Chain A
Amino acid sequence: MTTNMTNKQWVAICNIDDILPNMGRCALFNNKQVAIFRVLDSAGGESFYAIDNYCPFSHANTLSRGITGNIDGKTVISSPLYKQHFDLLTGICLEDKNVKVNTYPVRLDGHAVLMSEATINVS
């Protein structure tokens, strides 16, 4: 996997408590709708993921409202309307590998959730 990232400008989006554990929220970032997820693993660790909020199957801005989980070891979100799964790390749809949503860098700084200006391209 090669990750190619340019321009590391981090922008504060919200407070950690604004996103409930194991849930997603939609954020406006660079005039785009982005779905940010906060996923706890049972060891107590916590990861943040950000992908497009726009669902390529339903053509609606709904991905932030899906259920988080893991399937075959991948951390995924299931689309609330037609239930396809997207790998949160890569944005690739499990049911149709040709469909992929964008993923974005996101991290926690103290209590603040930050996103970067750049989009990552994972290949």
Chain B
Amino acid sequence: MSAKIKLVVIGNGPVGHNFLEYLVESGNSCQYQVTVFGEEPLPAYDRVHLTAWFKNQDVADINMVSEDFYPKNNFILHTGDKVINIDRTKKLVTSASGMKVHYDKIILATGSFPFVPPVHGHQRDNIFVYRTIEDLEKITAAAKTAKIGTVIGGGLLGLEAAKALMDLGLKTHVVEFAPRLMAVQVDDGGGAMLRKKIQDLGVSVHTQKNTQNISDGDTAVHKMSFADGEILETDIIVFSAGIRPRDELARQAELSMGERGGVIINNNCLTSNQDIYAIGEVALWNNKIFGLIAPGNAMAHAAVDHLTGTGTSEFTGADMSTKLKLMGVDVASIGDAHGNTPNSRSYTYVNDREEVYKKIVVSEDDKYLLGAVLIGDAAEYGSLLQFMLNKMELPSEPEGLILPRVDGSSSGIGIDALPDSAVLCSCMNVSKADVVETVQAGACDMAAIKSCTKAATGCGGCTALVTQVLNNELEKQGVEVNTDLCQHFSYTRQDLYNLVRIEKIKSFDELLEKHGSQSGTGLGCDICKPTAASILASCWNDHVLDEKLHSLQDTNDYYLGNMQKDGTYSIVPRIPGGEITPDGLIVLGEVAKKYNLYTKITGGQRVDLFGARSEQLPAIWRILVDAGFETGHAYGKSLRTVKSCVGSTWCRYGVQDSMGMSILLENRYKGLRSPHKLKMAVSGCTRECAEAQSKDVGIIATENGWNMYVGGNGGMKPRHGDLFAVDLSDVELIQYIDRFFMFYIRTADRLQRTSVWMDNMEGGLEYLKTVIIDDKLGLVNELEQEMSAVVGTYQCEWKTTIEDPIKMKRFEHFVNSKRHDDNVIFTTERQQIRPVLTAEKNTETITQ
């Protein structure tokens, strides 16, 4: 191929971006010279999760584009530059900044804009829409001086905007023209239940209100006057009255348009011009605009396939079923929710106590599902949707699908009955076959499914169903459902934890004897021994070198130091919060000098001394312990550090004493053994200098207390922590951390960090909150007691060890000689020691 095809993508929203992702996946991107224009100042972000921006007011949380995506693929991206003209004769695109780019093909992905009805006064200040990050920034700024906020429009987006206003601390109203909320997706009964639930949350709902005028208010900024003569005073107004396609460019380029707007496309997403495709919310297919992300992505796929000629997918319409959580309320709508199909039947279940409403619409002969509405509990969404999409025959009494089960069995669908082609995740277009294949290729948990197929990473509505398929497939393979810890125990780590706790088992031998799978012959191994050691420590907290425990420990725990590549150890004294006195530093310096140790500052705000031979460890620790240092547990699957910034004591921005809090927390949780290591950090204000959001538990000071984040991780697969609770007092904070850690210790897998544990938790963050904050399982007292037992039995492992002459003996390298390991050889680099490379060694000494 000689010259590259010049491709111009106009619009860098989610669909425009996904088009580029698919182009790269197709393997053809190098044949194109790609230029992208986006009107917004930022590269594509996930508009579906726009509201998540409020959490940290950080675009990183909803960013869709990895940093190197554009450069790596040689795509040129112009942000903050709108295309204003398409010249079809010269095949030239012109942008607002004056840039001119020739094209062979255009992808029009300009999306849509919020419709603002021409109500008198709609141009006043403090009136907003809800579509872009800039909109949210403006709303946030205005909310600082406002008390009341009103959303015009009670549809899906309107309710989401209402939630945002509520979270900003405003008294919130929703004004809707129709007689019920979410009129498009929900029937009367469902709308009534939804209204009740939303009002319970403190939002005032006004239906059948036609806003006619907005003028100066008497008690607030605006006065809204309705057609029925009533008025409402409010400081902020957010319009959410529907969307309109951004088709102005298409109009200018004289492409065929729909009567009420939208660029007409065919099944290949081609417009009336053979060189211009349109995808996403700007496109009109079969006289319909699709205001959801899944159809937009399907169009992007079809366009890539047609453009590159590598695939055959076409866009042939999309199912508009939705499931979402609005203000914590589950709402789902499937297919013909209103029962408009002639002769259809419906079944309804209403529970006023639990505030649940469920309706299914079925065909005349009861055989097929046509639609459904679920409010308050949408657990059946996934299986109902599959019944409808795959035209699967319903069970004989279809009402059973939405009635509560008395026997506790799960509802609905036989996974095996689902055809392979069934799309489980419509957001990411993942079929049952895709999930099954991924499992067959070795994936065995939801975290793996998510990263390999992207299923359940969009709206999340399909999580339960994808999990079912995953488990079903694992079960079929027979092998992988094997959750046995190892050959010696046919139990999971969680099972063993419970056995140890409940039967008060104190040693590995006892555990092996009572519950081991190879009765009589098993010795254990390097999997179950350290696991048992960790569980026994979490439960009873005896010294790791206790007679019945020491042989279970990994070498790092056994020598209370991290073994390095040459067999020497590192020494990491605890420096809580990173605070250390000059005298403390001098002692570390002196020890390092005396024993000729390599010294460095760690990534965990403390000092690591490397290159100590095992027989030197006791003497070194004698000096450190005498100087008041304790072990830093750098070797254990246990609490590492609680990093901290300097906080309000010194920093001009600090709002709380982060230093004091981090020292308190480090001293509280030091020595706590857990399924994997635990890291924490405390920042004194929202600038977050301690990087708390990358920790298992992160704490950020607020004017009113502490915000607590959980499940953060640096390392191999970074994950930002989830905001778990806000404005906690010191006491609440410690209570929640106690419960969180103990619940993790109880339920996590071996070597599973809190981040992966969170990713695999059914029900996710919300479930965790109900356990830890609302005490749904009636566990919190127990968890707190367990933690206080661990805190109360803390001992510095090194201090105890050097006071016991028997324990000290084991550190000698040879059992029968005072010599030391002559294979430990150092050379000097940058004025300190380092191990010699194998090539630098005399081979004779190595094997000797």
CB distance from A69 to the nearest CB of B (A): 3
Residue contact B814 to A27, C-beta cutoff 8 Å: yes
CB distance from B558 to the nearest CB of A (A): 7
Q: Which residue of B lies closest to A70 (CB)?
A: B523
A-chain residues with CB within 8 Å of residue B829 when the two chains form the complex: none
CB-contact partner of A14 in B509, B559, B816, under 8 A: B816
Quick check: is B180 within 8 A (CB to CB) of the other chain?
Answer: no
Residue contact A26 to B815, C-beta cutoff 8 Å: yes
CB distance from B794 to the nearest CB of A (A): 25
Given the known inter-chain contacts A20-B810, A36-B815, please indicate yes or no for A42 contacting B520, CB distance below 8 A. Answer: yes
- Identify whether the interface residues of A are mostly helix, strand, loop, or mixed: strand
CB distance from A113 to the nearest CB of B (A): 9
Residue contact B815 to A25, C-beta cutoff 8 Å: yes
Contact with B along A64-83 (1 / 0, CB 8 A): 01111111110110101101
A-chain residues with CB within 8 Å of residue B555 when the two chains form the complex: 62, 65-67, 80
Residue contact A19 to B815, C-beta cutoff 8 Å: yes
A-chain residues with CB within 8 Å of residue B513 when the two chains form the complex: 42
B-chain residues with CB within 8 Å of residue A32 when the two chains form the complex: 848
Contact with B along A30-72 (1 / 0, CB 8 A): 0111001001011100000000001000111110011111111
Q: Which residue of A lies closest to B814 (CB)?
A: A28
- Which B800-817 residues sit within 8 Å CB-CB of chain A? 809-810, 813-817
A-chain residues with CB within 8 Å of residue B838 when the two chains form the complex: 59
Quick check: is B529 within 8 A (CB to CB) of the other chain?
Answer: yes
The stretch that binds A, out of B228-236, B344-352, B560-568, is B560-568
CB distance from A4 to the nearest CB of B (A): 22
Residue contact B524 to A60, C-beta cutoff 8 Å: no
Cα distance A66–B563 in the bound complex, in angstroms? 11
Residue contact B526 to A18, C-beta cutoff 8 Å: no
Residue contact B525 to A54, C-beta cutoff 8 Å: no
B-chain residues with CB within 8 Å of residue A78 when the two chains form the complex: 525-526
Residue contact B821 to A69, C-beta cutoff 8 Å: no
Given the known inter-chain contacts A19-B815, A68-B551, A70-B521, please indicate yes or no for A60 contacting B529, CB distance below 8 A. Answer: no
CB-contact partner of B522 in A27, A70, A76, A81, under 8 A: A70
Quick check: is A13 within 8 A (CB to CB) of the other chain?
Answer: yes
A-chain residues with CB within 8 Å of residue B367 when the two chains form the complex: none
Residue contact B846 to A81, C-beta cutoff 8 Å: no
Cα distance A67–B487 in the bound complex, in angstroms? 15
CB distance from B396 to the nearest CB of A (A): 51
CB-contact partner of B846 in A29, A59, A80, under 8 A: A59
CB-contact partner of B567 in A18, A21, A62, A73, under 8 A: A62
Residue contact B526 to A83, C-beta cutoff 8 Å: yes
Cα distance A59–B529 in the bound complex, in angstroms? 25
Contact with A along B608-650 (1 / 0, CB 8 A): 0000001000000000000000000000000000000000000
Quick check: is A23 within 8 A (CB to CB) of the other chain?
Answer: yes
Given the known inter-chain contacts A20-B550, A23-B550, A81-B565, please indicate yes or no for A28 contacting B819, CB distance below 8 A. Answer: yes
A-chain residues with CB within 8 Å of residue B566 when the two chains form the complex: 60
A-chain residues with CB within 8 Å of residue B313 when the two chains form the complex: none
Given the known inter-chain contacts A28-B814, A59-B838, please indicate yes or no for A69 contacting B523, CB distance below 8 A. Answer: yes
Residue contact A54 to B823, C-beta cutoff 8 Å: yes
A-chain residues with CB within 8 Å of residue B526 when the two chains form the complex: 66-67, 69, 78, 83, 85
Contact with A along B834-848 (1 / 0, CB 8 A): 000010000000111
CB distance from B324 to the nearest CB of A (A): 46
Residue contact A67 to B554, C-beta cutoff 8 Å: yes
A-chain residues with CB within 8 Å of residue B558 when the two chains form the complex: 65
Cα distance A42–B529 in the bound complex, in angstroms? 15
Residue contact B487 to A42, C-beta cutoff 8 Å: no
Cα distance A76–B565 in the bound complex, in angstroms? 22
Quick check: is A119 within 8 A (CB to CB) of the other chain?
Answer: no
Quick check: is B512 within 8 A (CB to CB) of the other chain?
Answer: yes
Chain A CB count within 10 A is highest, among B550, B558, B567, for B567
B-chain residues with CB within 8 Å of residue A81 when the two chains form the complex: 563, 565, 567
A-chain residues with CB within 8 Å of residue B614 when the two chains form the complex: 65
Residue contact B816 to A13, C-beta cutoff 8 Å: yes
Q: Which residue of A lies closest to B823 (CB)?
A: A61
Q: Which residue of B lies closest to A22 (CB)?
A: B551
Question: Could you list 30 examples of A-B contacts with CB < 8 Å?
Answer: A14-B815, A18-B809, A21-B551, A25-B810, A27-B814, A28-B817, A33-B823, A33-B848, A36-B815, A39-B523, A42-B521, A42-B523, A54-B823, A58-B565, A60-B566, A60-B567, A60-B823, A61-B567, A62-B555, A65-B567, A66-B526, A66-B555, A67-B525, A69-B528, A70-B522, A70-B525, A75-B523, A78-B526, A81-B565, A85-B526
Chain A residues with a Cβ under 8 A of chain B: 13-14, 18-23, 25-29, 31-33, 36, 39, 41-43, 54, 58-62, 65-73, 75-76, 78, 80-81, 83, 85
Chain B residues with a Cβ under 8 A of chain A: 487-488, 509, 512-513, 520-526, 528-530, 550-555, 558-559, 563, 565-567, 614, 809-810, 813-817, 819, 821, 823, 838, 846-848
